[in-house]
Amino acid sequence: MQVEIISALIGAAVALPASGVAYAVGRHQAAATISAAHTQAAAGHKQWRDNNRREAWLLFVRSADELSSMAAEFTRGESPRGSEVESAIEGLESALSNVEFEGPAEVFCMARKMNQVLIERLIFSAFIKPYVSAQRKFDRALAEAQRESALVSPGGVSEQSSRVLEANQSLESLPSASAAARSSVAVPDDAMATAMMISAPFVESAGREHRESLSLIAQGIARIVVSASIEMPEEMSAAHVKLQACEELDEGDVAALIVNRVARFMPAFEQILSGLSDAFQEERKKFILETDKHLDARLPVPR
């Protein structure tokens, strides 16, 4: 009996350390399992976050590229449908909000700068679009008329081509911007108000941050044109009548051509737009490079 008791005690003595070891091993395994679960959860969260960010950033770049293409169309004198432009602007604003929501702040900061440059470019492009469109329309008609005049006898030019050639002569007789600007003629307030009515709707539709600068530009152009009309009323009237006789031109084209000729602002605007286009591409590049720092794979967009 004593032998049995001793054997049991020995067994218990052996079992206690064994059970302790088993407990320690089991606890370590449980801790490792929990740690692995946490790691897996963290990795899953990162993947989920990265996927959301990737979608937001990709949508923003593509929305910006779409609106940039529309700005380029305006610069060429072409006209995207108004509903398409409005939809593209709304899409860009929504995409920018998603970028802000998904973060991080560095990427949103780049996106906001890119958006600001693009909107400014779009506004200036829309501002000059009617002037570019009218000029290109008239230039095509003039080239055709000059080609016809060179190929036929002096009396064989069509009436339509003759009107275009006469309209061009009337335009060339108008004063340059520098001559109009130097004019000492006082510009009546009512004439200025009438001239500003043409650009007022566009200026008012621009954002607050651009409204003042666009208003000053419109005032400068209007003052030059009104000064020329006061100083050279017969020449301005003749040009207006001759241009109206051209079948290819509507009243908006006629006004735009006279402004182009007298104000001569197109080269300056083209330079501004070229700078804004380059600035947009630079900000776009910065944005994409910033997103590369936060993603395992680069955004699938042109670089």
27 phi and psi, to 5 degrees?
Answer: -65, -40
At 198 the pLDDT is 64
The 10 Å Cβ neighbour count of residue 57 is: 26
Predicted pLDDT at 182 = 47
Note the pLDDT tens digit of each residue in 209-219: 777 877 888 88
The pLDDT value recorded for residue 45 is 59
pLDDT tens for each residue of 88-116: 999 999 999 999 999 899 999 999 999 99
Q: What average pLDDT score do residues 18-26 get? A: 47
Amino acid at 205: S
- Among candidates 244, 247, 239, which has minimal Cα distance to 161? 247
Based on C-alpha coordinates, what's the Rg of the chain? 36
DSSP string covering 28-85: HHHHHHHHHHHHHHHHHHHHHHHHHHHHHHHHHHHHHHHHHHHHHHHHTT----HHHH
Residue 22 counted as domain residue: no
Give pairs for 128-131: CB < 8 Å, separation 24+.
128/74, 128/75, 128/266, 128/269, 128/270, 128/273, 129/74, 129/75, 129/77, 129/78, 129/79, 130/252, 130/256, 131/256, 131/259, 131/260, 131/266
In a domain, residue 291? The reply is no
Q: Where are the beta strands (DSSP E) in 192-244?
A: none
Could you tell me if residue 89 is inside a domain?
no
Report the distance separating Cα 190 and Cα 183, nearest Å.
Answer: 18
- Report the pLDDT value the prediction gives residue 178, as an integer from 0 to 100: 53
CA angle 278, 284, 286 (to 5 degrees): 105
Q: Please indicate, yes or no, if residue 20 is contained in any of the structural domains.
A: no
Chain centre distance of CA 3: 96
| 116 in Cβ contact with 107 (< 8 Å) | no
pLDDT at 40: 53
Mean pLDDT of the 70-88 span: 88
Residue 167, in any domain of the structure: yes
Six token digits for residue 202 = 């566009």
Structural domains counted in the chain: 1
Mean pLDDT of the region 165-176: 90
Domain assignment of residue 248, yes or no: yes
Which structural domain range is residue 166 located in? 129-272
Residue pLDDT, tens place only, 232-282: 888 889 999 999 999 999 988 998 899 899 888 888 889 999 999 999 999
User: Tell me: the pLDDT tens digits for 135-148?
Assistant: 999 999 999 999 99
pLDDT tens digits for range 123-133 = 889 889 989 99
Q: How far apart are CA 124 and CA 128, in angstroms?
A: 6
CB atoms within 10 A of CB 193: 11
Q: One-letter amino acid identity for 144?
A: E
User: What is this structure's pTM?
Assistant: 0.76
Do residues 133 and 254 lie in contact, with contact meaning Cβ atoms separated by under 8 Å? no
What is the C-alpha separation between 82 and 26, in angstroms, rounded?
Answer: 69
Using CB atoms within 10 Å of the CB of residue 143, give its burial: 0 to 12 exposed, 13 to 18 middle, 19+ buried.
exposed
Q: Residue 5 has what pLDDT?
A: 44
Percent of the chain with pLDDT over 70: 77
pLDDT attached to residue 217: 81
Confidence tier at 231 by pLDDT (50, 70, 90): confident
Domain assignment present for residue 163? The answer is yes
Sole residue written with tokens 């003039």: 142
Closest CA to 90 of 124, 59, 121: 59
The reply to whether 183 falls in a domain is yes
